[in-house]
Chains A and B, each alone.
Chain A
Amino acid sequence: GDSVTQMEGPVTLSEEAFLTINCTYTATGYPSLFWYVQYPGEGLQLLLKATKADDKGSNKGFEATYRKETTSFHLEKGSVQVSDSAVYFCALTAGGTSYGKLTFGQGTILTVHP
């Protein structure tokens, strides 16, 4: 079956540091890939997505590129802020009407210190 393997956390960084959270996947066919973020006390929010190979999703300074050859979708940000402290989830789905049937990674806790 489909699976997502996400970088173990927690990750602790200083403000303005570079962030990478690794995500690799196993799936049949051509899945759509997502990064969701969960801020403290809140539900999940979509951060970015990519629906086909070589697509780059971006939002709020975060980026991730759909790499079919390495089955990866690593999340990056050039300069993190304290407000980026949250739990980040990598996920995939078959797409279309199945966009809500997500397979999630374990989640990575990010803490950014001033």
Chain B
Amino acid sequence: SQTIHQWPATLVQPVGSPLSLECTVEGTSNPNLYWYRQAAGRGLQLLFYSVGIGQISSEVPQNLSASRPQDRQFILSSKKLLLSDSGFYLCAWNGRNTEAFFGQGTRLTVV
């Protein structure tokens, strides 16, 4: 069966520090991969999605970037975190004509 792993679960980082969140999917090949963010008091917003290795689409302009170095690995990064980057980050995947499956999420607090 397919599983999705996302880590770390919680993270506290100072302003200006770098960020790297990792997501991996097991049990499937060539999944579509997604990064979502939920800011405090707001709904989930799609940040990036990828339909293949090295293919990244950005949905909103921001201080973050994404990369897909391997078929089932999706990384969310920042060179210098801002206070406004705080939030709950969720990785998700879907196969052809299937619904999306989500990871457990990462709670990021920038201080």
Q: Which residues of chain A have C-beta atoms less than 8 A from B100's C-beta? A: 46, 99-100, 102
Q: Which residues of chain A have C-beta atoms less than 8 A from B90's C-beta? A: 43-44
Q: A43-B90, A43-B103, A43-B104 are in contact. Are A97 and B46 (CB under 8 A)?
A: no
Instruction: Give CA–CA (A34, B44) in the complex, Å.
Output: 14
* Contact call A99/B43, Cβ cutoff below 8 A: no
Q: Which residues of chain A have C-beta atoms less than 8 A from B104's C-beta? A: 42-43
Number of residues in A with C-beta < 8 Å to the partner?
Answer: 23
Q: Which of B92, B96, B102, B105 has the most CB atoms of chain A within a 10 A radius of its CB?
A: B102
* Contact call A104/B32, Cβ cutoff below 8 A: no
Q: A42-B104, A43-B90, A43-B105 are in contact. Are A100 and B97 (CB under 8 A)?
A: no
Instruction: Give CA–CA (A109, B55) in the complex, Å.
Output: 35
Q: Which residues of chain B have C-beta atoms less than 8 A from A66's C-beta? A: none
Instruction: Give CA–CA (A89, B100) in the complex, Å.
Output: 13
Q: Which residues of chain B have C-beta atoms less than 8 A from A45's C-beta? A: 102
Q: Which residues of chain A have C-beta atoms less than 8 A from B102's C-beta? A: 36, 43-45
Instruction: Give CA–CA (A101, B34) in the complex, Å.
Output: 8
**Chain B interface (Cβ < 8 Å from any Cβ of A):** 6, 32-34, 36, 38, 42-46, 49, 51, 90, 92-94, 96-105
Besides A43-B102, A44-B92, 10 other CB < 8 A contacts?
A6-B43, A43-B6, A43-B103, A44-B44, A46-B100, A97-B97, A100-B92, A102-B100, A104-B36, A107-B38
